Amino acid sequence: MELALLIACFAAVLAGKILRGAAQWARHPENRNALRGGKSGGLRLQMLAASLVTALYYLSRLPQSAASGNLPPVQPYALAILAGSQAVFLVGMARNLLRPFVSLKSEGEK
């Protein structure tokens, strides 16, 4: 019972931070066009989505393991989803940071 109350409190705090952060995130000029190819907003958005999906999946497994009194194990594919999301974010951020220094040509240009 205490574990469920603790997780519910964490979820409430996290939801409040996400909602307040989402409002601030949407007002930031760099992120206004995030879904249409903004600088790094789309990268943050995909990382947030992958993190939320993985966290919700893990939380959905908590009631099943409540009888044993232990937390459920983290599945390898959940870690792979998070690692892949982080890798995409880091590569995208590196590309955005290096763009002024490196000329990126499309296939049609010579």
Could you write out the DSSP letters of every residue in the chain? Answer: -HHHHHHHHHHHHHHHHHHHHHHHHHHSGGGTTGGGT-SSHHHHHHHHHHHHHHHHHHHHHHHHHTTTTSPPPPPHHHHHHHHHHHHHHHHHHHHHHHTTTS-PPPTT--
| Mean of pLDDT over the chain | 76
pLDDT at 41: 67
Distances (CA, A) of 65 to 3, 71, 97: 11, 6, 44
Whether pLDDT at 83 is above 80: yes
Is residue 68 within 8 A of residue 62, CB to CB? The reply is: no
Whether pLDDT at 66 is above 70: yes
CA distance 90 to 87: 5
Which amino acid belongs to residue 25?
W
Mapping DSSP onto H, E and C, the string for 35-55 reads HHCCCCHHHHHHHHHHHHHHH
8 or 24: which carries more pLDDT confidence? 8
Least confident span in 12-21, 52-61, 85-94: 12-21
